[in-house]
Structure 1
Amino acid sequence: MLIRPPVIRPATRTDLPFLQDIEGAAGEAFRALGMAAVADDAPPALAVLEHYRSAGRAWVAGTGDDGTAGDGRPVAYLLHDPVDGAAHVEQVSVHPDAARLGIGRALIDHLAARAVGAGFTALTLTTFADVPWNAPYYARLGFRTLTEDRLTDGLRALRRAEAAHGLDRWPRVCMRRALPTPPRR
């Protein structure tokens, strides 16, 4: 576990190529599970990452004082979208060199705190059901798997897009983590 909390900050334009590198490196772990298609999937395009960055929905983290690994490169990132009243985790990736240090958890907790302040009621995400660092990990962070009848229209649309992208070759789930109601002022 990480001794010193990571520094989390908004992504900058100069971070974006590093986010692609993080995604590629993190994806390699899927190869060992027989999920080469996931490992080989291209990282988000710079234009997509810039869309998240310019909308204020891209966060990076690192263990250095500047939110990097001390060399100007972030070691993890999170992208999110508003989906049906929830802050939806579109992507969270940690470079393997920084895995198991609590950085992914810190990014999700950071989003949760910001989401409460913005009036969101929950965090949501879609993920692989049987990958140890996916659904089982998120369950340890307080996410619960949603049954089909609990999916919102937005989550159903996301699942259709994932299926069209071929991700349904492996079991997928939608998950939700309720957020506390902010105190009334």
Structure 2
Amino acid sequence: MRRLSSLEDHFRVTEIERAAGELFRNINMAIVADDQAISRQDFQRFVTDHGAFVWLVDGVTVAYLLLKQLDGAAHIEQVTVHPEHARQGIGAQLIVVADSWACERELPAVTLTTFRDVPWNAPYYERLGFRAFWPRDWGPAMGARMDTEAARGLEAWPRVAMIRPVSKVSTAEAVVHG
């Protein structure tokens, strides 16, 4: 089940982020595993803007999605599933939430940035219909995003910006607002 997030979800979101980050340590990407979890202040901004969602299994938050508008598209700032709940379609369901969010705002596309060669990153998003898009097609905010990621040391591994047109979702799949 999905729902809009509240600030009370911050602690669990950081637990999920840290657990998922450990997967990067296993592929020699310790800088990613050691990256700071989202601050309470930054998380609050997503909550306030109705761009923070959580996914619950048996009443426990097991995944989250953070969205914002970037260059006229819905941008997935973060989508993370706790490793204990991976490979169950939860991430794909959260992408449906991103589509709903974009539709509500009349945005034509969903974007994200990710690692090109990590199996649960770009190859996964390609299976969900995303495609790489290149600097010549970026708006200024995406260019700034990629520069910020490089400054954090993420350029040590190939990064890619990805985009897909919004999939129109049925009313039954619409985002739950309460």
| TM-score, normalization by structure 2 | 0.91
What are the ranges of 5 or more consecutive residues in structure 1 without an aligned counterpart?
1-6
Q: Which has the higher contact order (CA 8 A, sep 6+)?
A: 2
Counterpart position of 1:4: none
Q: RMSD between aligned alpha carbons?
A: 1.3
Q: How far did residue 119 of structure 1 move?
A: 0.3
Q: Deviations over 1:46-98 (max 9, x none)?
A: 1111111121110000223xxx33xxxx1000001101110000001110111
Return the alpha-carbon distance in structure 2 between the equivalents of residues 155 and 139 of structure 1: 19
Deviations 1:121-166 (A, max 9, x none): 0000000000000000000111000122222211111001111111
Alignment of 1:1-185 (within 5 A): 7-64=1-58, 68-69=59-60, 74-180=61-167
Residue 42 of structure 1 and its aligned partner are, at CA, apart by: 1.2
The 4+ residue runs of structure 1 with deviation greater than 3 A are none
Letter in 2 for 1:53: V
The answer to whether the Cα contact below 8 Å between 1:87 and 1:123 also exists between their aligned partners in 2 is yes
User: What percent identity do the matched residue pairs reach?
Assistant: 44
8 Å Cα contact 1:121-1:180 kept in structure 2: no
Q: Is the 1:129–1:135 contact (alpha carbons within 8 Å) kept by the matching residues of 2?
A: yes
- Taking the aligned partners of 2:119 and 2:44, their CA distance within structure 1 comes to 30
Gaps of 5+ in 2: 170-178
Q: Distance in 1 between matches of 2:45 and 2:100?
A: 22
Task: Give the number of equivalent residue pairs.
Answer: 169
